[in-house]
Structure 1
Amino acid sequence: MDKIAVVILNWNGVKLLEQFLPSVIQFSAGATIYVADNASTDDSVNFVKENFPTVQIIKNTANHGFAKGYNDALKNVNAEIYALVNSDIEVTENWLQPILETFNTEKHTAIIQPKILDFKNKEYFEYAGGAGGFIDKFGFPYCRGRIFDTIEKDEGQYDDNCELSWASGACFFIRSEVYNELKGFDESFFAHQEEIDLCWRALNEGYVIKYNSGSTVYHVGGATLSQGNPKKTYLNFRNSLLMLVKNLPKKGLFFVIFFRMVLDGIAGIRFLTQGKFKHTLAILHAHFSFYCISLKYIRKRKYFQIKQYYTVKSIVYLYYIKKVIVFKEIFNTNQNIKN
């Protein structure tokens, strides 16, 4: 069994592989590198074979998205640690060593995220994960370094190691035994929020999720679906509701989901006022889909759910009403974050 496997999920991303795979190969000594191809119709597979013969290729039978794409691919990977890396990630020298040291010394730590900066503007954190993720009471995610659309400059303010609520799927390290115990990503999600759901399930099982600032990567972001894509809006809103049904503690379950749906409605009205009609329709579609499959997801609930899963009651209120736009303004001391 390998110690660590770097697995890059690809779909029609030959240009991204050409640009970013060399840094992964250069700085990942000791790791086995895989490209898991989601039935691409471009020249991705042949390109990797011809130009990077040391990289192993896994061919999935169809494009099943992020969740099932990784679940299928990882059945073919035998390693203690999975490093799931987007194809638009540039890694840096020594990016693996701090992560492996944490796994070696902290046996209850199951999932780790590095510092994720913006490839296009390398002094700033990147939207997808920043310096690690948290959620509020109603399931809205936010990051150290990014709250909604406000991105912070990296000035060393998050050069630490701390516990998280979730780690970004853009660069996601997980013990293989934990991944298998949790049965991987929820394939019904297809893409978006699946890593938050997996992390929440890990927390419910007593595992620890960490951020490690000693490892840095740069992420392009939006290479598959841009922030303004209605399909992304649909997946994010639907999957958030499904995640809440699965993982919320029993007490207050229906109130939280109802209030979240009210907030979704407000978001839909906001899109309307901005002329973004397709996004309003995407939210309506997300809610309709949720109604159709919510009973199935109630059956996925486990016996135990942690009660204190959130760090603030409403990040929406703090951001839009109180105008709190920087993470440190919420937590100006570290007393609310486990070090």
Structure 2
Amino acid sequence: MNRTPKVAVVILNWNGLRFLQQFLPSVLQSTWPNLQVVVGDNGSTDGSVDFLKARYANEVTVLQNHQNYGYTGGYNRVINQVDADYYILLNSDIEVTPGWIEPVIALMESDDQIAAAAPKIKSYNRKNYFEHAGAAGGFIDKLGYPFCRGRLFYEVEEDLGQYDESGEIFWASGAALFIRSKCWHEVCGFDERFFAHMEEIDLCWRLKNMGYKVMYCAQSAVYHVGGGTLNTENPFKTYLNFRNNLWLIKKNMSAMRSTYVIGMRMWLDLLALLRFVGEGKRKDAWAVSKAHQSFVRSFFKKSEVRSRKSEVGSEEALTVRELGGGIISGHEPLTNNHQLSPNKSGLYKRSIVADFFVKKKTRFTALDPRDFH
């Protein structure tokens, strides 16, 4: 590298004081020479901002949002104010390891077509195991179900070195997402309608539809607590996952393909709803129903200018622009001169649901590599 790229680690915080106290020191010990650490606060009420300004006034740039805009809106507003060659979107509940930045940036600098990348994401509480949100890189099947190398549905693998080779993936986890700044702005950042969950898959899918690559870097590792804001049993998380997965398909597949896939997914989601009822999880079952209702209503809403009630219950008026599939408030995107064909690498040509639940393929290594693009 002739010039050391400027890297900005951007942590979005919402009432995560305990995580900042525990994990921010490891981030500040990072050895990348041209590094800025930014904490964007999403309207916290737990003293996070006061703590940062008192303890890390000279080491951390604090940017404040006046309310909770969710993961998507919060990051869009914060990153708009950050100037760097690369952004690293990092969850506040992550412990980084020595030298975690260097191998990922070296990988991305080696190929201009690499837009985003992810390190190996392991569990903070079970250090030898992968973590649910990201593991060793994300993939997606023909029906739009995302999954990870090292984690299929609820089965999480132990890290025995089986995924120690870097390579191309379909999506990088938002828990520790490296992205070129020019690519972030080229696709207008996150789609704020997602609020949280699967927004990084949408971002990566849009990049891949433009021909860019998304990579997994095995030489970098971080440890993720997971479930810091919404735990796995939260019905709101169920709602977001089911609704956002349908949006993901509608936005990024062709019209003909998405119509077929959404029809299939509606029936499969109904089975999931009935399973929740059978398990006594009626709130989760209702969340699936609400997700479908919200998805159907979205067809009748205008996308250019909307005034809406945010998911967290506060009123906000957003002027949004839909360009290249992304929605971002108050930001003009760069001109899109990227004309490569869509990059399908990491797309699984079979059904991961059928392979996992019917054929009992519970590990990524059981999947046939020939079934991937």
Do these two structures clear the TM 0.5 threshold for a shared fold by scoring above it? Answer: yes
1:47 aligns with 2:51: yes
Q: Tell me the distance in 2 between the aligned counterparts of 1:102 and 1:39.
A: 35
- Identify the match of residue 313 of structure 1 among 347, 350, 365: 350
When you count helix as a share of all residues, which structure comes out higher?
Answer: 1
Letter in 2 for 1:15: R
Letter in 2 for 1:139: G
- Identify the match of residue 161 of structure 1 among 151, 154, 166: 166
- Identify the match of residue 27 of structure 1 among 27, 30, 35: 30
Structure 1 residue 252 displacement after superposition: 2.4
| Cα offsets for 1:104-141 (capped at 9, x unmatched) | 11110000000000000000000000000001111111
Extract unaligned runs of 5+ from structure 1.
none
Alignment correspondent of 1:219: 224
| Cα offsets for 1:134-192 (capped at 9, x unmatched) | 01111111000000000000000000111111100000000000000100000011000
8 Å contact 1:242–1:297 — kept in the other structure?
no
Distance 1:199 1:296, change over 3 A: farther
Structure 1 residue 254 displacement after superposition: 0.9
| Cα offsets for 1:186-233 (capped at 9, x unmatched) | 001100010000000000011000000111000000000011110000
Alignment correspondent of 2:319: none
The Cα RMSD (Å) is: 2.0
Distance 1:187 1:40, change over 3 A: same
1:107-118 superposed matches below 5 A:
107-118=112-123
Letter in 2 for 1:253: S
Alignment correspondent of 2:11: 8
Extract unaligned runs of 5+ from structure 2.
305-321, 326-338
8 Å contact 1:249–1:307 — kept in the other structure?
no
- Identify the match of residue 263 of structure 1 among 262, 268, 271: 268
Alignment correspondent of 1:17: 20
Q: Tell me the distance in 2 between the aligned counterparts of 1:161 and 1:14.
A: 34
8 Å contact 1:20–1:88 — kept in the other structure?
yes
Q: Tell me the distance in 2 between the aligned counterparts of 1:225 and 1:127.
A: 14
Q: Tell me the distance in 2 between the aligned counterparts of 1:313 and 1:284.
A: 26
What secondary structure, in the 3-state scheme, does the structure 1 residue paired with 2:299 have? helix
Q: Tell me the distance in 2 between the aligned counterparts of 1:210 and 1:297.
A: 35
Give identity over the alignment, percent: 46
Structure 1 residue 27 displacement after superposition: 2.0
What secondary structure, in the 3-state scheme, does the structure 2 residue paired with 1:121 have? coil
8 Å contact 2:32–2:102 — kept in the other structure?
no
Structure 1 residue 103 displacement after superposition: 1.6
Distance 1:335 1:297, change over 3 A: farther
Letter in 1 for 2:107: T
Letter in 1 for 2:72: A
What secondary structure, in the 3-state scheme, does the structure 1 residue paired with 2:271 have? helix
1:1-339 superposed matches below 5 A:
3-30=6-33, 31-53=35-57, 54-294=59-299, 306=342, 308=344, 310-331=347-368, 334=369
Q: Tell me the distance in 1 between the aligned counterparts of 2:114 and 2:178.
A: 10
Letter in 2 for 1:175: R
8 Å contact 2:171–2:200 — kept in the other structure?
yes
Structure 1 residue 312 displacement after superposition: 3.3
Alignment correspondent of 2:308: none
What secondary structure, in the 3-state scheme, does the structure 1 residue paired with 2:256 have? coil
Q: Tell me the distance in 1 between the aligned counterparts of 2:201 and 2:87.
A: 17
8 Å contact 2:212–2:343 — kept in the other structure?
no
Letter in 2 for 1:180: H
Structure 1 residue 51 displacement after superposition: 1.4
Q: Aligned residue pairs: how many?
A: 336
TM-score calculated relative to the size of structure 2:
0.86
8 Å contact 1:2–1:32 — kept in the other structure?
no
8 Å contact 2:136–2:149 — kept in the other structure?
yes
